[in-house]
């Protein structure tokens, strides 16, 4: 795991790469890679690559970056991990390639020399990389299918710059004018939807895409894989195939955990009282000794939201080296400004990840496994039963023209009397999965944005976002309603919030967070099991994965991992939602001062 940056002066009239600027961009990401730094600028000064290293695989200098391929002259900077790199290395050696190290970075260079962009179909892992093809004088950019690892791009029509963080690119000469879609998107969702950022001049390469930049300029990004494509291929178990499907999914989970344990340093697990992290810990413990960490909150002590006791029971049953750390309102107050400074794009989430990552760093760890993605994969969010129920009850309203909008506008004077502004939009949005999902996950509803940001910018941003259209496109080609909701959760909440928060909060503490449930190989081995309630399906999978789990974990009602942000901000507030909006406004002000 690392921080990457680079610049390609592709235009004939573009100035040469600014070495000092590139170093400023790199050093803004120092926490991503405290173990080393590298810089390469081509002899003609038209392309430069920079790197900050967190050494996890091939700890020697043989893994340093930027890395060159002596046979081709190609150069690469890479952020992430390729979990099947050892098998790929063996294959390359058998085919006659010269591979000098055990670094997954070198495997990428050699695969590209042999297969070109087709290499991407062979990679199992999380990645964002930039590879300079010396012979063709082109820059190859690529990002993993789920968007686990970030890659931000700034192109001014003459030079293209890239980095692992938005705030790093702000150190360069990029267009910093506000992007209305980025601003509106944050207030709509509580995170900025890809590919937007808060800045017109910076955008993200979409997950599962590659892009080639030549002397003629950037080519169009090309899709090679994503969650929607994988979910569209998920098979359905037959009436008599439930047990076989459970066994197959459980084996795929064990295989993914084993793949994600690959490292030359110790690997820990974030352990909550939920089934997802418990499955991970059980699988990882079978492969060797294990360190687990649990975060508890003083405000939840003695309530159903307190994870500490049950997580400790799991750790004891598995025989892990376990640590519990409790966080108080005073801890949040002390870390609040550091947390906001480390946040790369605004987010209303990530606080728990910040504190548990700090805890892992204090334990001397560089790598941990997280249960992110389990709820999306196994269908265990409330949205999996709430959205279909809402859609079925209101789907006829779509045939009544603008009735829903008229009702919502008529309720506007009474909005203060409603438990939530979302109630006013039930008839307008609730009749489709896309609209119901917006009701479920949004921070503010579209009609509210003009009251919390510049109205003209809000209108322009909403038009550019085309939120309902993009939500609908996220489910295209997916047959079942259950998998369609998985597609929404994976490509919106998980991608824009959970994975991004894991990146910035982990990297702020020089910690690589790996997510075994967010794995293309696992997803393509997943099997939909009709007729099983989601809760029962997940419990049976967990029992199959780890049959010796305590019954107290298997039978525990789902509560979700909660953070008492509402109590920390305003203990006397009437609603949690109101305080979450208050935190959202505070985060927004930190990025966009009045």
> pLDDT of 208-257, one tens digit each?
999 999 999 999 999 999 999 999 999 999 888 899 999 999 999 999 99
- The DSSP annotation for 404-468 comes to HHHHHHHTGGGGGGSS-GGGGGHHHHTTSHHHHHHHHH-SS-GGGGGGTS-HHHHHHHHHHH-HH
Query: Running DSSP on this structure, what letter comes out for residue 30?
Result: G
Q: What is the pTM of this model?
A: 0.95
Express as a percent the part of the chain with pLDDT over 90. 82
Where is pLDDT greater, at 575 or 257? 257
Residue 459, pLDDT score? 98
Helix axes 534-545, 275-286, angle to 10 degrees: 10
Query: Which pLDDT belongs to residue 416?
Result: 67
Tokens at 301, concatenated: 């002590």
* Calpha distance 365→293 (Å, rounded): 11
Q: Which residue has tokens 């409330």? A: 382
Who wins on pLDDT, 319 or 552? 319
For 147-186, b where at least 16 C-beta lie within 10 A, e where not — what string? bbbbbbbbbeeebbbbbbbbbbbbbbebeeebbbbbbbbb
Q: Return the percentage of the chain with pLDDT > 70, whole number.
A: 95
Q: Which fold has domain 2-225?
A: 3.60.20
Place of tokens 């081709």: 72
Residue 144's nearest CA partner among 204, 191, 102 is 204
**CATH fold label, 229-379+484-564:** Rossmann fold (3.40.50)
**Residues paired with 210 in a beta bridge:** 142, 222
**pLDDT score of 299:** 86
The β-bridge partners of 270 are 293
CB atoms < 10 A from the CB of 245, how many? Answer: 22
- The domain limits of the chain are 2-225, 229-379+484-564, 388-473
Does the structure show a pLDDT above 60 at 578?
no
Tell me the sheet residues that pair with 141. 130, 211
Q: What band does 378 get if pLDDT is binned at 50, 70 and 90?
A: very high
| Residue 415 Ramachandran class (φ > 0 left, ψ -120 to 50 alpha, else beta) | alpha
Dist CA 147 CA 494 (whole Å): 10
**Does the pLDDT value for residue 410 go beyond 80?**
no
Residue 131, pLDDT above cutoff 70: yes
Q: What is the pLDDT of residues 321-371, one digit of tens each?
A: 999 999 999 999 999 999 999 999 999 999 999 999 999 999 999 999 999
| Spatial contact of 129 and 209, defined as CB atoms under 8 Å apart | no
pLDDT tens, residue by residue, 50-96: 999 999 999 999 999 999 999 999 999 999 999 999 999 999 999 99
Q: Contact, 435 vs 469, CB < 8 A?
A: no
Greater pLDDT, 566 or 405: 405
List of residues 6+ apart from 586 with CB closer than 8 A? 569
How sure is the predictor about 417, in pLDDT bands with cuts at 50, 70 and 90? low
Q: What is the pLDDT of residue 566?
A: 72
pLDDT at 574: 47
Three-state DSSP class for residue 490: helix
Mean pLDDT of the chain: 93
**pLDDT at residue 535 in the model:** 76
Given a contact cutoff of 8 angstroms between Cβ atoms, the answer to whether 211 and 10 are in contact is: no
How many C-beta atoms surround the C-beta of residue 211 within 10 A?
A: 21
Amino acid 80: pLDDT: 97
Tens digits of residue pLDDT in 548-567? 887 877 777 666 556 887 77
Show Cβ contacts of residue 340 under 8 Å, excluding neighbours closer than 6 positions.
587, 590
Give the model's pLDDT for residue 242. 92
| Window from 127-141, 233-247, 415-429 with minimum mean pLDDT | 415-429
pLDDT digit string, tens, across residues 473-524: 999 999 899 999 999 999 999 999 999 999 999 999 999 999 999 999 999 9
pLDDT value of position 303: 82
Q: What is the pLDDT of residues 294-310, one digit of tens each?
A: 999 988 888 878 888 89
The winner for highest mean pLDDT among 19-28, 528-537, 559-568 is 19-28
Q: What is the pLDDT of residue 408?
A: 81
> pLDDT grade, residue 570 (50/70/90)?
low
Query: Which H helix or E strand runs over 513?
Result: strand 512-514
Quick check: 143 pLDDT over 90? yes
């Amino acid at each position: 795991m690392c921080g990457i940056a680079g610049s390609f002066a592709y235009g004939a009239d573009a100035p040469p790469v600014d070495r000092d600027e590139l170093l400023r961009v790199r050093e803004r990401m120092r926490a991503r890679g405290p173990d080393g730094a590298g810089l390469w600028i081509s002899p003609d000064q038209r392309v430069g690559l920079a790197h900050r290293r967190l050494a996890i695989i091939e700890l020697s200098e043989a893994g340093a970056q930027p890395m060159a391929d002596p046979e081709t002259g190609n150069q690469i900077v890479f952020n992430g991990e390729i979990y099947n790199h050892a098998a790929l290395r063996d294959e390359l050696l058998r085919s006659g390639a010269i591979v000098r190290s055990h670094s997954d970075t070198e495997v990428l260079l050699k695969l590209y020399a042999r297969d070109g962009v087709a290499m991407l179909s062979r990679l199992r892992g999380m990645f964002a990389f930039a590879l300079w093809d010396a012979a063709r004088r082109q820059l190859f950019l690529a990002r993993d299918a789920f968007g686990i690892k970030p890659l931000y791009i700034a192109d001014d029509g003459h030079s293209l710059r890239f980095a692992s963080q938005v705030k790093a690119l702000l150190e360069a000469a990029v267009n910093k004018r506000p992007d209305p879609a980025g601003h509106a998107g944050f207030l709509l969702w509580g995170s900025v939807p890809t590919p937007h950022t808060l800045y017109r001049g910076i955008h993200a390469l979409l997950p599962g895409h590659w892009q080639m930049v030549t002397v003629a300029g950037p080519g169009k990004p090309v899709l090679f894989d994503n969650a929607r494509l994988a979910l569209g291929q998920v098979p359905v178990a037959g009436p008599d195939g439930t047990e076989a499907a459970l066994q197959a999914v459980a084996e795929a989970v064990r295989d993914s955990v084993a793949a994600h344990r690959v490292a030359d340093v110790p690997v820990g697990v974030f352990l909550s009282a939920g089934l997802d992290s418990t499955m991970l810990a059980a699988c990882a413990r079978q492969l060797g000794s294990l360190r687990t960490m649990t975060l508890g909150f003083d405000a939840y002590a003695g309530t159903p939201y307190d994870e500490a006791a049950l997580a400790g029971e799991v750790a004891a049953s598995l025989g892990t080296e376990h640590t519990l750390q409790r966080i108080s309102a005073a801890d949040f107050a002390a870390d609040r400004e550091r947390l906001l400074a480390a946040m790369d794009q605004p987010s209303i989430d990530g606080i728990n990840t910040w504190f548990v990552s700090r805890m892992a760093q204090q334990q001397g760890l560089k790598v941990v496994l997280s249960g992110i993605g389990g709820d999306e994969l196994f269908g265990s969010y409330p949205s999996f039963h709430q959205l279909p129920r809402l859609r079925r009850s209101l789907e006829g309203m779509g045939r009544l023209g603008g009735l829903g909008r008229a009702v919502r506008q008529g309720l506007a004077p009474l909005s203060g009397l409603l438990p939530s502004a979302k109630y006013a939009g039930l008839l307008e949005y609730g009749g489709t999965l896309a609209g119901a999902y917006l009701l479920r996950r949004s921070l503010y509803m579209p009609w509210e944005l003009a009251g919390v940001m510049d109205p003209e910018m809000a209108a322009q941003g909403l038009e550019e976002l085309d939120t309902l259209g993009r939500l609908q496109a996220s489910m295209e080609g997916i047959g079942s309603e259950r998998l369609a909701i998985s597609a929404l959760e994976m490509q919106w909440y998980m991608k824009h919030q959970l994975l991004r928060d894991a990146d910035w909060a982990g990297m702020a503490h020089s910690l690589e967070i790996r997510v075994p449930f967010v794995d293309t190989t696992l997803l393509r081995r997943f099997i939909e099991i009709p007729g099983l309630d989601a809760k029962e399906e997940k419990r049976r999978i967990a029992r199959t994965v780890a049959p010796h789990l305590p019954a107290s974990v298997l039978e525990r009602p789902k509560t979700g991992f909660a953070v008492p942000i509402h109590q920390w901000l305003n203990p006397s507030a009437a609603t949690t939602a109101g305080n979450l909006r208050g935190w959202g406004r505070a985060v927004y002000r930190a990025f966009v001062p009045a």
